[in-house]
Each structure stands twice: as structure tokens, then as C-alpha cells.
């Protein structure tokens, strides 16, 4: 079970603080980004009325999530937020799927990736809230229904970040560990591929969708 404990780390010391970087997760993130850029290039390279296969997939994804954002946030706001939402989903989907390839690990099994994406959604939602309601109106929401609710509302907002990022992390990490342990316990050729199919592909897709959907919905809750 050495794989669980061993992490390739880069440790940078500045003064008395040391910063630990998980190199595997960073490398995997870059690989995912590279793959997505390549996909984007291929999908938009020769755009035709009769689309090629890449373009079909790309159009499908963009259209689906554009429509989804529009139905939740309204036409005006969808214009500014939908590109980010589509990109978020595609990044998460590929991140969760990449673990199915041998020697690759999902960057989402490192808590830092979901946490930073969750924080991004948090900042974005609150920025959207301030822009939509003005600073006064935004602050006012924290004193509802009564003034004393301020600490609870603050914690509730922070808990959203925790729940959204730990949900993704817990599911992906749980799946990865189950696959690892099962393949160690029974040296079977049949079961692990099925587990990959279930955890990486099926659960990964659902969790990527849930993460994206929740980000949209959190923005929607802030703006009105």
C-alpha cells in the first residue's frame, strides 16, 4: 500500500514557512489543460456547416451548458458566466476521467484542486452578488432574518465552499482508494476495470456535473 503514502512533493522554504506542492497533481492538471486546449483547437479548427466529430462534441457541450446557465441565471447574466461554466465542467470531466488511463491520477483526488475551484466559485458568486445588489444590499443579506444571524450566515457561506469541494474530493478519493485496495486484495483482471468504469467514468461524470451545477446555483442564489 505504498502508493497511498508516497507523494512526490516539492518543498519550497521561504523564511520559516515551507510550502508543499504535490507535483503529481500539478502535472496532471497541466496535462488536462493541454488536452483541453488541443480539443478546443481541434473542435474549432475547420468549422463547417457539416461539423466534424470533435466539433459535434464541442457544440453539444457548449450548447447544453449554455442552455443550463441561461435557464438558471437568465439570458443577460448567462452571457458573462456561461463560458466559465462550460470550461469548468469540461475541466472537471476530463480531470475525473483521466484516472482511468494507467499511470495517471485524477488531479481532483488532491484536495487542493477541488478546494481552489470551490473558492473560485465562492468568490465569483459573491462578486456577482455585489454587482447585482450593490454593496449595501449584499451586506444586508447577512443580517436576515434577524441581526443575530450574522455569524451563522457567514459560517453557512463558508460551509458551502467546504461542502462543494469536499464532495468532489471525497467521491474521487474514495473511488481511487477503493480501486487501489480492491486491486491489491484480489489480483483480478476483471473487477478493477469495472470499478474504473463505475468510479472514474460514471461517478466522475455525475460529480463533475454536480459541481458545475452547484456553482451556477450558488451564483443564482447570490444575485437575487
Residue ranges that bind another protein, judged by CB under 8 A: 1, 4-5, 68, 71-72, 74, 152, 155-156, 159-160, 162-163, 166-167, 170-171, 173-175, 177-178, 181-182, 185, 202-203, 206, 209-210, 213-214, 217, 220-221, 224
Nearer to another protein, 43 or 73 (CB): 73
Return the C-alpha cell found at 5.
Answer: 503514502
Nearer to another protein, 29 or 171 (CB): 171
100-137 CB burial, b ≥16 within 10 A, e <16:
beeebbbbbbbbbbbbebbeebbebbeebbbeebeeee
In the complex, what is the shortest distance from the CB of residue 91 to another protein, in angstroms, rounded to a whole number?
A: 18
In the complex, what is the shortest distance from the CB of residue 214 to another protein, in angstroms, rounded to a whole number?
A: 6
Nearer to another protein, 174 or 193 (CB): 174
In the complex, what is the shortest distance from the CB of residue 215 to another protein, in angstroms, rounded to a whole number?
A: 11
CA 74 to the chain's CA centroid: 22
Return the C-alpha cell found at 90.
Answer: 469540461
In the complex, what is the shortest distance from the CB of residue 213 to another protein, in angstroms, rounded to a whole number?
A: 5
Nearer to another protein, 6 or 15 (CB): 6
Nearer to another protein, 63 or 159 (CB): 159
Dihedral of alpha carbons 21, 23, 26, 30, sign: positive
In the complex, what is the shortest distance from the CB of residue 163 to another protein, in angstroms, rounded to a whole number?
A: 4
Please state the three-class secondary structure of 56-97 as a single string. HHHHHHHHHHHHHHHHHHCHHHHHHHHHHHHHHHHHHHHHHH
Beta pairing partners, 19:
12
| Rounded alpha-carbon distances, angstroms, from residue 169 to 122, 145, 223 | 17, 33, 27
In the complex, what is the shortest distance from the CB of residue 106 to another protein, in angstroms, rounded to a whole number?
A: 14
The tally of CA atoms less than 13 A away on the side-chain side of residue 173 is: 15
Nearer to another protein, 54 or 195 (CB): 195
Nearest to 109 by CA among 52, 172, 66, 162: 172
In the complex, what is the shortest distance from the CB of residue 155 to another protein, in angstroms, rounded to a whole number?
A: 6
Nearer to another protein, 137 or 170 (CB): 170
Amino acid at each position: 500500500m505504498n502508493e497511498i503514502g508516497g507523494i512526490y512533493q516539492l518543498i519550497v522554504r521561504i523564511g520559516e514557512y515551507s510550502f508543499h506542492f504535490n507535483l503529481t497533481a500539478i502535472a496532471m492538471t497541466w496535462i488536462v489543460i493541454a488536452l483541453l486546449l488541443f480539443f478546443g483547437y481541434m473542435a474549432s479548427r475547420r468549422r463547417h456547416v457539416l461539423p466534424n466529430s470533435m466539433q459535434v462534441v464541442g457544440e453539444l457541450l457548449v450548447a447544453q451548458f449554455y442552455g443550463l446557465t441561461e435557464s438558471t441565471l437568465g439570458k443577460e447574466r448567462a452571457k458573462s458566466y456561461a463560458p466559465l461554466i462550460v470550461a469548468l465542467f469540461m475541466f472537471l470531466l476530463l480531470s475525473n476521467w483521466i484516472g482511468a488511463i494507467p499511470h495517471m491520477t485524477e488531479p481532483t483526488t488532491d484536495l487542493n484542486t477541488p478546494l481552489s475551484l470551490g473558492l473560485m466559485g465562492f468568490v465569483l458568486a459573491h462578486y456577482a452578488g455585489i454587482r447585482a445588489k450593490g454593496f449595501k444590499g449584499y451586506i444586508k443579506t447577512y443580517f436576515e432574518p434577524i441581526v443575530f444571524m450574522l455569524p451563522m450566515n457567514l459560517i453557512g457561506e463558508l460551509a458551502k465552499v467546504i461542502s462543494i469541494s469536499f464532495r468532489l474530493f471525497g467521491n474521487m478519493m474514495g473511488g481511487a482508494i477503493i480501486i487501489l485496495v480492491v486491486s491489491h486484495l484480489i489480483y483480478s483482471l476483471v473487477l478493477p476495470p469495472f470499478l474504473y468504469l463505475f468510479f472514474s467514468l460514471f461517478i466522475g461524470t455525475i460529480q463533475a456535473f454536480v459541481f458545475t451545477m452547484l456553482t451556477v446555483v450558488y451564483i443564482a442564489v447570490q444575485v437575487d
